[in-house]
Amino acid sequence: MRLLPTTPNRCANTIPGVAPAVLLAVHAAESGAGWALAAALASLVFAVRGWRLGVRCEPGRLVVHGYLRTRRIDRSRITGVTDFPAVRWTAPGGRERWTPVLAFLGTSEETAGTRRRKRENVARLRRWAAGRR
């Protein structure tokens, strides 16, 4: 099961990567600065990761896609899902950890439909983590 924000929200999640990529590409074209082209490509990676923000609930593990990394958490190690939202889990060494789910983080500017979809996704994630679909 894959839990994702709405399509407009996914598009908005790409902006932190797309905007700098465009500006850096223009700078690289005008100045020939290699560093700007490299930074533009890195920004595009950030944009793609923004589009992919979400979670994938697999039979034995949870995969959380974030801007900077993808975290895989064994289902048996999950201890809860917070309202932040974040997944609380226990590392193999016994240390308590938490992984934020940025895809479902609410803002005051979002529409009621977007807010509802995020709440529904967090509720589905909670049910999955508790062993209920």
- Whether pLDDT at 18 is above 90: yes
- From the list 89, 64, 80, 71, the residue with the least C-alpha distance to 128 is 80
- The structure's pTM equals 0.90
Boundaries of every domain in the chain: 2-129
- Whether pLDDT at 81 is above 80: yes
Average of per-residue pLDDT across 93-99: 97
What lies within 8 Å, CB to CB, of 41 at 6+ separation is 21
What's the confidence (pLDDT) of residue 70? 98
- CA–CA separation, 78 and 92 (whole Å): 11
- CA–CA separation, 121 and 103 (whole Å): 10
